[in-house]
Structure formats: C-alpha cells, structure tokens
Amino acid sequence: MINILFLGLVSFFTDISTEMVYPLIPIYLTGRFGARPALIGVIEGVAESTASLLKVFSGYLTDRFQKSKLIAFSGYAGSLFYKLALLLSNSWWGILIARVIDRTGKGIRTAPRDVLVSESAGAGSMGKAFGLHKALDMAGAALGGLITWFLLRGGQGGDFNYKFLFMISVIPAVLGLCMFLFVKPPPSHASERGQPHPAPVKQREPFWRNVKQLDRQLLLYLAVVFLFTLGNSSDNFIILRALDAGFSEVDVILLYFLCSAAAGALSMPFGRLSDKIGRKKLLVPGYLAFALCYFGFAFTQGKALMVAVFVLYGAYTAMITGVERAFVAEIAPPALKGTMLGLQATVAGIALLPASVIAGALYDANGPAAPFVFGAGLSLAAAAILMVLMKDITNQNNQKERTFA
C-alpha cells in the first residue's frame, strides 16, 4: 500500500493544482470572453475527445513496453503545461488550447497510473487500493477548491486576478511530479526496474486481434459506459446551474469544494465495500444516485437543497470512479490490463464530445433543466442494463479465492 499512497500523493498535489483552476473556467469564459453555454460545451467536448484516443494508446504502450511509471510521469507533466498555457491565453481559443493540453496529459497518464495502482494492490483488495487512490485524489480536489474560495473571497468581483491564481496553481503541480521519486514500478515491469527486458511474448499482441476473446461482461460494461457518458456532460454545467440558481461566484466554488470533500471522504469506504459485496452492487446504485443528482440539478429551487445535491454528487463520484476501474482491472486479461483501462477511459472520452455539445445546445435552447433531465434518463437506462445483464464478477472471484485458499 506504500506505493499506492505515493501514487495517491501524486494525484493529491496534481488535483490541488487542477481544481484551483477548473471550477473557475466556466466563470472565466462567461465573465471575460462572453462565452455561452453552447460554446463552453464545445470547448469541453473537443478537449476531452481530442485526447480520448491517447488513453487506449498509452494503455497499449504500457502493456507493450512495461514503462508505466515513465508514461504516467509524462502525462502528469501535462498538468504543469496546462497552467502555463492558461497564463498565456487571452481568448477563448487560448482556453481551448489549454484544456486540450490538460486533457491530453490526462489521456496519457490514466491507464499507466491505474496499472500501477492495480499491480500494487494486494490480493482481494483491488477496490480498497483504487478507493485509497481516489480518496487522496479527491482530497486534493477539495483542498484546491478551498484555496480558490479563499482567494476569490479577497477579489473584487469581476476585477479578480485570475492569472495570479493560475500562476499559484503551478506550485502543487510541481510537487505532484516530485512525488514520482518515491513511486516504484510494479514487479511485473522488469525493464522499468533496471532488470533485463523479457523477450516479447505472444500474449502482447494488439488487443484488436483478440477482441472476440475478451470477456463479454467487459464488452457489455464498455457499451454501458458509452451510453452513460452521453448524458454525463462536463461538470462546468453544474457550476453554471448553481450560478443560475442564485449562488455567487464565491459560493459556487464552496459548493464544488463540498462535492469534492464528500467524494474524498467516501471513496475508500466504498472501494472496500465493493471488495466485499461485489462491484455490481455499487455500480448500479451509483448510476441511480447520478440520475437523482441530475434530476436535482434540473428541478431544485432552494439553495439548501442545491447544497444537498452537490454533496450527493460527491457521493456518486465515490461510488463509481474507483469501483469501475477496479472492475475493469479485475476482469481484463493480465497482458492487456493497461490497454483495457485505457480503452474504458477512451470510450468515455469519445462520448464526452457529443455529451457536452448536446448539453450546451439543450441548455441554450430549452433552459438549464434540459441537459440534466436528458442525462438522468440515460443514467437510468445504463443502470437498468447493468442490473439485468451484468454478472457479479467480484463475488465469483472471491469464491474462487476462498476455494483455493
């Protein structure tokens, strides 16, 4: 677990840096450049989808060359270049370029990092490992949001110096990269540990040559991820929704902090729970919680209820994010673990372009409730498919482990 702790600290500091900036992006775009929700949707969709193909590609490179630490480091370096690009941007085009840099870095680092986490986990503790990593990740997100809230409180409304905050956010990004000094490559990556590289084996053929041999449950889940993500648009829209509900820019940042804090506090308990009861028994309620959140964002009027919806949204994040990665890592063929983790992220990334564009168009054409009703409906459909068709793989694996113990 020491390795997972340091990987978590990498994400902790990186997310402090990222979340100091992220909740301000829609405010910055609308306030400084007059961007409409539709344009914000295009920016987020293009950024996510442009980088999405890199996720499966970096996963394949991780499997092929056994360089998970090096590839993950290069991806996390993108977070630093993102902040530098924001400092240089003077138009919404500049923000778009910066967001593409950020998402490209995430596309590169996601699969190799998840491989490092999964191969550092002990037997029967995959959910706990991903839960611990996600808890530190979200703790960083919460702290980053809190720092921004304090800084924004001292600003003078529209005169707030955004670029000063972008400059300060560079510091935790650098600290996150420094944490890689303490991360050890997994034992299976012999060449990365300075040992002779094993001869290439037939198992490491590109995944598309053996796609028919992949577990049908994994293919089903990838299809469900695509359907669900079509309704799960950028979080920029929940920030815009809070502004529409009457929250000030400062209060919106605090709402985002509460969401991240809830996710950080619940990620490890939910991860450990999934080790005991099975991934399906958390994934389905997680999708149902998302639908409830989106209905809440669509129809909630009072500020107290909106706060509760943001907290519930943090709980949904804790229920889904680490658990779905544990599920994919658990069911993927060992020689294709990085590729499959990358493919899962790629499928979600590809869906984010139409998701964000649709959400922005619905927001402009039909009001703030429309994209959330659309997303809630797709989430309910995804939950129904999982409930009826997906087997509880984790329980089966745990029974096998007890049988051979």
pLDDT at 191: 54
Please enumerate, as own/partner, the contacts of 395-399 that have beta carbons within 8 Å and a separation of 24 or more.
395/277, 395/278, 397/330, 398/124, 398/275
Determine the average pLDDT of the residues in 178-190: 80
Asked if residue 167 has pLDDT above 90, the reply is yes
The confidence band for 201, taking pLDDT boundaries of 50, 70 and 90, is: very low
197-202 mean pLDDT: 45
Q: Which residues, 6+ apart, have CB-to-CB distance to 15 below 8 Å?
A: 137, 138, 140, 141, 144
Task: Place 152 in a pLDDT band, splitting at 50, 70 and 90.
Answer: confident
- Residue 172, pLDDT > 60, answer yes
Structural tokens at position 56: 């499966």
Position 277 pLDDT exceeds 70: yes
Integer Cα distance of 383 and 4 in angstroms: 30
Global pTM reads 0.76
- Asked if residue 105 has pLDDT above 80, the reply is yes
pLDDT at 402 over 70: no
pLDDT of residue 38: 85
> For position 214, what pLDDT does the model report?
66
pLDDT band at residue 288 under the 50/70/90 scheme: very high
- Is the pLDDT assigned to residue 379 strictly greater than 50? yes
224 band by pLDDT with thresholds 50, 70 and 90: very high
Distance CA(280)–CA(221), nearest Å, equals 10
Alpha helices in 198-277 (DSSP H): 216-231, 236-244, 249-277
Instruction: Give the residue-averaged pLDDT of 125-135.
Output: 88
Question: Domain 2-183+214-399 - what CATH class?
Answer: mainly alpha
pLDDT tens column, 333-352? 777 777 787 788 778 878 87
The token duo for 52 is 């999405």
Nearest to 270 by CA among 327, 346, 349: 327
399 pLDDT higher than 80: no
- Look at residue 405 in the predicted model and tell me its pLDDT: 37
User: What's the whole-number mean pLDDT along residues 23-28?
Assistant: 87
Whether pLDDT at 327 is above 60: yes
Structure tokens of 373? 């009703």
Would you state the torsion angle of the CA atoms of residues 379, 381, 387, 391, taken in this order, to the nearest 10 degrees? -90
- pLDDT at position 266 is 93
The per-residue pLDDT for range 40-51, each reduced to its tens digit, is: 888 887 887 777
Is 80 exceeded by the pLDDT of residue 56? no
- Quote the mean pLDDT of the chain: 84
Determine the average pLDDT of the residues in 251-256.
89
Please give the Cα distance from 395 to 41 (Å, whole number): 39
Percent of the chain scored above 90 by pLDDT?
Answer: 39
In this structure, how many other beta carbons lie within 10 angstroms of the beta carbon of residue 127?
Answer: 28
Confidence of residue 154 (pLDDT cuts 50, 70, 90): low
Contact 119, 186 (CB under 8 A): yes
Sort 74 into a burial class: Cβ within 10 Å, 0-12 / 13-18 / 19+. Answer: middle
How far apart CA 35 and CA 93 sit, in angstroms, is 11
| Averaged pLDDT for residues 2-11 | 93
| Range 227-254 average pLDDT | 89
Highest mean pLDDT among 147-156, 178-187, 236-245, 290-299: 290-299
Position 312 confidence tier, pLDDT thresholds 50, 70, 90? very high
Q: Quote the tokens at residue 282.
A: 């958390």
Q: pLDDT at position 209, please?
A: 55
